Structure formats: structure tokens, C-alpha cells
Amino acid sequence: MRVLVAVPVFNEEAYVAGVIREVRRYCDDVLVIDDGSADGTAAILNTIDGISVIRHPENRGYGQSLIDAFAYAHRHGYDWVITIDCDEQHEPCQIPEFIARAAQDDADIISGSRYLTALPGNTDAPSDRREINKTITAIINDRLGLQLTDAFCGFKAYRVNAMARMNLTVVGYAFPMQFWVQAVMTCARICELAVPLIYIDPTRHFGGILDDPQSRLAHYLEVFENEMARSQDSRDELAGCRWSRHSSR
């Protein structure tokens, strides 16, 4: 089983070297997607040997970084890609847990959940992020027949062949709104894996109108409804999809 760990980064000079060092303790194959960083991130990446880097000449969005990671993994013959954020809010030491869960070979998407299990050391999420996550997760579960507890966690493992069946085009932070619809429409098998809830810097922002919680929620809902409408002809596939839940803790 060939596994790639993909790390999207944007202006992460404070964290990138340490995160990559920790990730490489658990996986030899690491891809960093530098989404047009304007700080010292690119220079730091140039000093790290043994990793692959995709560089966007300008900021194209978190979703585009993931889309590029899936395409890279498919081109290079990987079986699984694990995505982990670069702000120290995910713990690389859990990468083996995702790999072990993938090796059970009964899931296509292993989605980290910060709310599946109360873990020692959990912190509090900023209230607007927690409420939006709760609202969106409930809507996704109701409309798609899922049982998610965390719709937005970026710590995930994806079966590469399953991702190749999707047509993902949302390039920004609303990427999960399209992703979950297409995951169901392509009958991807989904489970969750408990991960800690860690917020080191609650002042980090999304940028533009997405910094306003109501505008962010409205944008997420618009993308979700657009994808549901686009997938209207595939609604009959919902009945054939399976859900399973797994927690390693």
C-alpha cells in the first residue's frame, strides 16, 4: 500500500519546518502544496530535502491545493493520500492510525473528527467555527443520509482511486461542501477517526468576506445547494451507499 502525505501550506513560515520534520517521521513520501505563500515559506521549503513541492504562483485556494494533491497521487501511483494541515492543529503522530485504518480495506474516506470522542488535551474551538461546523454537519447528515460528527476537519485519508471518480472544482474553503456530495454520489465508503481538537491560534482568518461568520455560512450553503442541484440526476445512487463509523480511541 503506497501512501502519500500531502500538506497544503499558505504563509506558514512559523510552522512549516517543524510540521514537515514530524510528518517525515511517519511517512517517507511527502508532498507540500505551497499555495502562493508571500512570506518565507518557499525559502524554508527550498532547504528541506526529500520532499516534493507543488508551487502555485498565486494564492488559488485550499480546495485547489487538495485537488492538486489528489491528481499528483493518482499520476504517481499512490493508493492513499493523507492530508494534514500545517498550523500544528493536527498531530502527525496519528498518521500511522490513518494508515492502519486504511489497511483494513473497508473504507474509501477516513475523515478525522474532532468531535467523535472527547480526547485529553482538547481545546475549545472559536464559537463561530464550532457553530458553523455544527450547522453544516447537521445539514449534510440530513440531506445526504450520513452520520458525520465533523464536516470540516482537514486531517483525512483518501483512497486515490475513489477520488479519481469525482469531479472536484471548488477551489476555496467551501471545498467540503462539494466533496461530501460527490463522495455520496460516487458511493464512497466513509468512516471517521477521532483526532484531538487543537486550536493554537484562534485569531487565524479565512480572508475577505469569509471572515464574517454569516457570510461564510451563506457561502458554504450556496456551494452545497449548487452541488446538490448539479447532482440531481444521481440522487437514486444514495440508497446504494454505505456508512461505517470507527474510532481508534
| Residue 107 contacts residue 244 (beta carbons within 8 Å) | yes
246 within domain boundaries:
no
| Residue 161 contacts residue 235 (beta carbons within 8 Å) | no
146 within domain boundaries:
yes
| Residue 61 contacts residue 140 (beta carbons within 8 Å) | no
36 within domain boundaries:
yes
Range of the domain at 48: 3-240
DSSP 110: E
pLDDT tens digits for 54-111?
A: 999 999 999 999 999 999 999 999 999 999 998 878 899 999 999 999 999 999 999 9
Query: What's the number of domains the chain is made of?
Result: 1
Give the model's pLDDT for residue 119. 66
245 within domain boundaries:
no
pLDDT lower than 70: segments of the chain: 119-126, 199-207, 209-210, 233-249
217 within domain boundaries:
yes
CATH number at residue 61: 3.90.550.10
178 within domain boundaries:
yes
